[in-house]
Amino acid sequence: MNYIRNIGAYFIMLAWVFRKPKKISIFWKMFMQEVQYIGINSIPLVALMSTFIGAVISLQTASNMDNPLLPAYTVGYITQSSIILEFSPTIISLILAGKVGSNIASEIGTMRITEQIDALEIMGVNSLNYLVFPKVIAAIIYFPVLVIFSMFLGMFGGFMALVISDLQSPETYILGLRSWFDVYNIYYALTKTVAFGFIIVTISSFYGYYVKGGSLDVGKASTKSVVVSSVVILIFNFVITKLMLL
Amino acid sequence: MIEVVSVNKTFGQQQVLFDVSATFLQGRVNLVIGQSGQGKSVLAKCMVGLHEIDSGNIFFDGRNFSAMEKGEKSELRQEIGMLFQGSALFDSMTVEENIKFPLSMFSKMTKKEMQMRVDFCLERVNLSGVNNLRPSECSGGMQKRVGIARAISLNPKYLFCDEPNSGLDPKTAIVIDSLIKDITYEYGITTVVITHDMNSVMEIGDSVIFIFQGKKWWEGDRYSIMNSENSEINSFVFASEFMKEIRQSLKGQKP
């Protein structure tokens, strides 16, 4: 019963989030701050994860390619496909659900328990629109940027791993990366990313905004937002894949 | 003037306010007092619309706030300033940005006019020169004063203060009380102060209502409260031995 109430409250929240901002100049200032927090501050983590996981994907693929009938460039092709189709959009989004989602839930939750949200409401500000809308827009614009960045670094990580380990020549790996490349896969990956960005920001904001109690409850809300966002991401990953690839 | 008419409020199965009616006059400091957990903060939050009331009406100068749509309430709230118990300053902003926020959100002032207004408000609460401090760098008393400066930045018609003295030393508490009183008289604001601090009652209580078990139990002013025969309010006002001694000495002076 509680789940149904939460789903209803979530959609009512969205109706208040998606309103015209009272002042565009203030929205723009908030948006740029969120680009910093959600986008730019996530670059080091995304870079580190993508490079190493790209390297591991290529090494694992190479270690399993002992069939002489398979061409050597298959390693590059599989690395490219794995990174574009699943690793960059989904795994990076799950990682960002932990980093960005928990940050949003605890930020908004702390504002709630310290009455800062009440102060906004008393002033006549639509607090959901003011706090959440810039985050949503920043996420749906900058998550795809992060994911494209992750794709490049993942493939670069694979390149470095194979070349340093002397498992493959750079030309063979690059030939693999370019083989059967389908631009539609990029559309698919970015569509997923936009959906995941929306899910992470709105679910985290929901748990932060409606937190009740004290600092302990903010911590619980933060954890819950990460868990629920991750589960919803996995469900939508399946749904979007079914709709777009099959 | 704010009129509260037969307000009832329930949380789940528990009724918190029972048929509360009161009038809060313009240009006066109106106090709502009572022990913790009796419903006085709930009443204030109902009055500003942070809690929806179950029944009754709340009028701001004849405008029925409780019957308004959310958009209309937002418009009216621009006439309300509120000082919160924990100050509720935006911790991501400096003192200056906190005071400037309602101005940039709702006024059509130029940057220069906004700066002048911020400086005026800070000067009014005796805090000139702290513009660039973060709330975390301010003491409790300073935070309250910044809260007052933010609350008055848009020239509100109504000022709500939720336990403005909580956590402050007696001397700073008197400074905050005096500030609230001065601002109320100077600008003719309808001020509602929620408190359980008897010093505040004596300092600024132009009109006082006592809430007990969710009901308006008593109404009067800071003078009549000392001579009230109501047993519940006496047990609140003269809770300490010191106050009991004062009461005895006052009775002894009676002819």
User: Are B149 and B196 members of one domain?
Assistant: no
Q: What is the pLDDT of residue B255?
A: 45
Q: Give the domain CATH number at B4.
A: 3.40.50.300
User: Are B128 and B8 members of one domain?
Assistant: no
User: Are B68 and B95 members of one domain?
Assistant: no
pLDDT greater at residue A200 or residue B167? A200
The alpha carbon of residue B223 is apart from the nearest alpha carbon of chain A, in Å, by 32
User: Chain B partners of A26 at a C-beta cutoff of 8 Å?
Assistant: 104-105
State the residue range of the domain holding B231. 1-79+158-166+182-255
User: Are B53 and B162 members of one domain?
Assistant: yes
**Domain-embedded: residue B177:** no
* Region for residue A166 given its phi and psi (left: phi exceeds 0; alpha: psi -120 to 50; beta: otherwise): left
User: Are B61 and B127 members of one domain?
Assistant: no
User: Are B37 and B107 members of one domain?
Assistant: no
User: Are B141 and B162 members of one domain?
Assistant: no
Contacts of A194 (CB under 8 A, 6+ apart): A140, A143, A144
Asked if the Cβ–Cβ distance from B106 to A118 is below 8 Å, we say no
User: Are B190 and B220 members of one domain?
Assistant: yes
Per-domain residue ranges for chain A?
A: 2-245
ipTM: 0.84
The type of residue at B169 is D
Q: What is the pLDDT of residue B150?
A: 92
**Domain-embedded: residue B175:** no
User: Chain A partners of B82 at a C-beta cutoff of 8 Å?
Assistant: 118-119, 122
pTM > 0.90: yes or no: no
User: Chain A partners of B105 at a C-beta cutoff of 8 Å?
Assistant: 22-23, 26, 123, 125
User: Are B38 and B75 members of one domain?
Assistant: yes
Residue B250, pLDDT > 80, answer no
User: Are B144 and B162 members of one domain?
Assistant: no
Q: What is the pLDDT of residue A106?
A: 96
* pLDDT average, residue stretch A214-239: 95
First-residue to last-residue Cα distance in chain A: 34
Nearest to B144 by CA among B176, B169, B119: B176
B78 vs A114, A115, A124: nearest CB: A124
A123 vs B85, B105, B160: nearest CB: B105
User: Are B71 and B162 members of one domain?
Assistant: yes
Lowest mean pLDDT among A133-142, B55-64, B120-129: B120-129
**Domain-embedded: residue B172:** no
Q: What is the pLDDT of residue B251?
A: 67
**Rounded-to-integer distance, Cα B145 and Cα B148, Å:** 5
**Domain-embedded: residue B171:** no
User: Are B19 and B47 members of one domain?
Assistant: yes
User: Chain A partners of B160 at a C-beta cutoff of 8 Å?
Assistant: 122
Asked if the Cβ–Cβ distance from B77 to A116 is below 8 Å, we say no
Q: Which of A16, A19, A110, A115 to substitute to test the interface with B, most B CBs within 10 Å?
A: A115
Contacts of B66 (CB under 8 A, 6+ apart): B53, B56, B57, B58
Q: Total structural domains in chain B?
A: 2
* Burial of B188: CB neighbours in 10 Å, binned 0-12, 13-18, 19+: exposed
